Amino acid sequence: MAARPAFRRAPYRFRVRKNVTFAAAAALAVALLALLLIAIDVRVALLGHLYADAASAPAAPITLVLGAEVYPDGRPSPALESRLDVAIDLLRSGKTNVLLMSGGNGSVEIDAMRAYVVAREVPPEVVVADAAGDRTMSSCQNARAKFPGLRMLIVSQADHVARATFTCRRLGIDAEGVAAPEFTGDRLIVYWIRERFALVLAWLEAR
């Protein structure tokens, strides 16, 4: 009767590589699950507080417009233009009285935002500047300090406005989010990925 071949264990390096791969896959799965659960928690908390455009938004005395990229020549990027256009619509429709422009990078963003709306016949006296809004959390904290106890609309693209509205509401602001048209072009993927991780940070900070 022929002898049965001896069992040979897989090489040590192969077993280590397999274990590392399994651990990495498990960690990725946990991270994705955490992202999903946080996103669900935020969306549940925001039920009834997010609006698709200026036409469907409620009224509030203050509208917080969050800054975005400004080109070297002083022009707002398309994403920022979209936010400002929504803010102008809210003002013209009588749904808001004051536009609070919040951005970082010194006064670069704020100056560009103010110039854009004033060029479109927005009275300068209804534009309030917050040049210290280098983060969404800072913008919400500064808005609360400038206009304590007042209801606010917040304008940005959908993912960002959800994060900002969640943050402001956790800080005690009676805030409603109004979405501006989404990013387009090759930076959309970068923006989408960034927002996933920024939401986790906002969720942790809010607690």
Q: Helix 12-45 and helix 188-206: axis angle, to 10°?
A: 70
Predicted TM-score of the model (pTM): 0.79
Question: Strands, E, within 124-205: which ranges?
Answer: 127-130, 152-157, 175-180
According to the model, what pLDDT value does residue 30 have? 65
According to the model, what pLDDT value does residue 5 have? 56
> pLDDT (tens digit, 0 to 9) for every residue of the chain, 207 residues total?
555 555 555 565 656 676 667 666 766 666 666 666 777 777 778 889 999 999 999 999 999 999 999 999 999 999 999 999 999 999 999 999 999 999 988 889 999 999 999 999 999 999 999 999 999 999 999 999 999 999 999 999 988 999 999 999 999 999 999 999 987 666 667 767 777 777 777 777 776
Residue 15 token pair: 């077993």
